[in-house]
Amino acid sequence: MLDATNIIKASLEVGRELLRPPHESDSTPEQMRAIPLLVPIRSLGVNHRTRIATHLLSLEPHDRYLRFGYMAQDEQIQRYVDGLNFDRDEIFGIYNRKLELIAMAHLAYASPEGQDACAEFGVSVVPAARGRGYGARLFERAAMHATNDGVSLLFVHALSENAAMLKIARNAGARVERDGTESEAFLHLPQATLDSQVTELIEEQVAQTDYRIKVQAKQFWSFLADLQNIRRDVIDGQARTPP
């Protein structure tokens, strides 16, 4: 986990990356699979509900099966998204430069009254963004938030065949118990410290800034593309005009 100083340094690299045209960021499979030092993970609110739905509905049937534990249909996913409680739970997301939600995590508290007891973690990552450690980073972010929120136990309920999710939990120090086709992972969280609270605050600020820059960059490149199209139309029109 990054400390506050390294987060600030790494955020400068993120800023430089955003200055490149969008097509340059997806150039090779090796670059696509590179694990960045800093992954801007931001809290998602009600205004992100549509993008959350788009992300989950884009998952293939087997990915839906692993994420929800059953072969979720579009209507069931939409009901899940509509039922998200942004006041009680925490939703975290990772956006790419095209403002597509490529990974998200749901930290669900057991109940409004029992937030100091336990919370459940669930995560999904689009296929093109896998292999970069996003699931593990989201787990770290959720665990840190839960710690700072007074939660003592973080657990994951997953299918036993969901090796990627169970590996993330094991690597974080969770105890995994298997019961046939289903498994549960339990991670006892430490008490919050000043460092964990400051680190989460800085990470959230970096992620918010990263998102605003991505919005502005997308608007700029769209504006530039429109100008180029207009210029091309004018040139084509002049070429068709008889002397």
**Phi and psi torsions of 64, nearest 5°:** -65, -40
User: 194-240 and 4-18 are packed helices; what angle lies between their axes, rounded to 10 degrees?
Assistant: 0
So what's the pLDDT on residue 115?
47
Q: Which domain holds residue 229?
A: 4-240
Sequence-ordered alpha helix ranges (H) in the chain: 4-18, 29-33, 49-57, 61-68, 74-82, 134-148, 163-171, 194-240
- Please give the tally of structural domains in the chain: 1
CATH number of the domain to which 150 belongs? 3.40.630.30
Give dist(CA 240, CA 243) in Å, integer. Answer: 9
Q: Which residues 6+ apart lie within 8 Å of 17 measured at CB?
A: 25, 97
Give 10-residue mean pLDDT values along the chain (243 residues).
Answer: 49 49 49 60 95 96 95 96 95 92 94 67 95 94 94 93 94 92 93 92 87 73 64 63 59
So what's the pLDDT on residue 30?
47
**10 Å Cβ neighbour count for 27?**
10
